[in-house]
Amino acid sequence: MDHFLYRDGVLHAEDVTLTEIAAHVGTPFYCYSTATLTRHFRLFQEALAGLDHLVCFAIKSLSNQAVLRTLGDLGAGMDVVSGGEYRRAQAAGVPGERIVFSGVGKTRAEMAYALTHGIRQFNVESAEELRVLSDVASGLGKTAPITLRVNPDVDAKTHEKIATGRKEDKFGVPIARARDVYAEAARLPGIEVVGIDVHIGSQLTDLAPFETAFTKIADLTRELRADGHRIRRLDLGGGLGIPYTRSNETPPLPLDYGAMIRRVLGDLDVEIEIEPGRLIAGNAGILVASVLYLKQGEGRDFLILDAAMNDLIRPAMYGAHHDIVPVLEAQAATDQRPVDIVGPVCETGDTFARQRSLPPLAPGDLVAFRSAGAYGAVMASEYNTRPLIPEVLVHGDQYAVIRARPSFDEILNRDTLPSWLESPTP
């Protein structure tokens, strides 16, 4: 469910028309719904009610500080994968004891910064990283709380580029080697083992792979406790999928996910951490664009928008589907026709959809890409020197620009000329 609904023939974000926002900020822009973010976070809280738990929002899915502050004020922790994301969580007011540091390539500087400013735990990805963290923590006179990310060799049955729990993936320590690495962790100075971490991929639409992975983690928990480790926390990662189409996708509900966690792990007396990103943010955001041209091609028509692959990379990168709808609601009897929906970037890959049926649209009309809140703005670039597009947050009948569109001067002034090019050419 989301809070982007037609009312009186116009698509609204909560109680604000998208036409009003477009008139104010121009297109394209991202728009997020506070009510949807709040509802989705609370679904996870309800799913884990009665269990000692922390819901950590995966910042990599949507990192705007206004969104992080919204979720942090609800009690969310934050899952970060870089020093920059740590600083975003910090700037949004989230305390270190609610920040989990994941990621396969943490640097010494990132480790030191998090240790100095406070951290709930590091999700350590390798024995090599563990040794570096021990050295950094010892040098600072600190103790680093850690979980070891274990690779359970479970195929999440998701897109190749977002599967993370198979033995051939770059993430984690093979489960067969986990006891040896935990034994080393127990011997290293500056390291405190607090639990186990697992994350098998993103956009999962079936609970079976989760259950297989969590069952393996339950067995490992018992083995590690028998080895003398105090395993008191299980970080289960994220990955629960969302319906990108409104017709045939029915991913599991958070309540079903929580029930499965209770069934598999409920007897272990551990604190549960989960790290959802997409399910909280995905349907909480849309991308609004304007039609530039309707171009008649050979055998097909093209709807050319002012949004491009640099603004929303998912269709080009993953072949991802987003429902695309007119902001002004079409009459039920209106004939629809297939068009290729494309952007202005000089690549054939700048295609959002092929032969998608839409009602007749004209230059200046607005369309909305649904389910664009996760991995939309965070993956955007300035390719073709196209400015990053604004982000807008709606709260009831209010809205605010939470990231402005940079001017061309701001973009150009980030470049600097070396001294030998500063003088004009004679």
Please choose, from the candidates 35, 14, 30, the residue with its C-alpha nearest in 3D space to the C-alpha of residue 22: 30
Which pLDDT band holds residue 159 (cuts at 50, 70, 90)?
very low
Q: Does residue 74 contact residue 94 with C-beta atoms inside 8 Å? A: no
Written as six digits, the tokens of 31 are 């728009």
Is the per-residue pLDDT at 166 higher than 60?
Answer: no
pTM comes to 0.93
For the chain, the C-alpha Rg in angstroms (whole number) is 23
Which pLDDT band holds residue 64 (cuts at 50, 70, 90)?
very high
Is the per-residue pLDDT at 141 higher than 50?
Answer: yes
pLDDT digits (tens, 9 = 90+) for 337-372: 999 999 999 999 999 999 999 999 999 999 999 999
Per the prediction, the chain carries an average pLDDT of 93
State mean pLDDT over 83-89. 98
Is the per-residue pLDDT at 157 higher than 60?
Answer: no
Which residues are catalytic, by number? 346
State mean pLDDT over 159-167. 46
pLDDT digits (tens, 9 = 90+) for 206-224: 888 889 999 999 999 999 9
pLDDT digits (tens, 9 = 90+) for 226-243: 999 999 999 999 888 887
Ordered by start, the domain boundaries in the chain are: 4-31+282-412, 34-281
Q: Does residue 57 contact residue 76 with C-beta atoms inside 8 Å? A: yes
Is the per-residue pLDDT at 47 higher than 90?
Answer: yes
Examine residue 28 and say whether the peptide bond preceding it is cis (omega within 30 degrees of 0): yes
Is the per-residue pLDDT at 186 higher than 70?
Answer: yes
Is the per-residue pLDDT at 246 higher than 70?
Answer: no
CATH class of the domain at 34-281 = alpha beta
Is the per-residue pLDDT at 373 higher than 70?
Answer: yes
Please choose, from the candidates 287, 291, 304, 311, the residue with its C-alpha nearest in 3D space to the C-alpha of residue 340: 304
> What pLDDT does 239 receive?
82
pLDDT digits (tens, 9 = 90+) for 89-128: 999 999 999 999 999 999 999 999 999 999 999 999 999 9
CA gap 221, 48 in Å, rounded: 20
Query: Which of 194-203, 284-293, 323-332, 398-407 bottoms out in mean pLDDT, i.e. has the lowest?
Result: 194-203
CA gap 305, 29 in Å, rounded: 12
Q: Which fold has domain 4-31+282-412?
A: Lyase, Ornithine Decarboxylase; Chain A, domain 1 (2.40.37)
Contacts with 129 (C-beta within 8 Å, 6 or more apart), sequence order: 104, 106
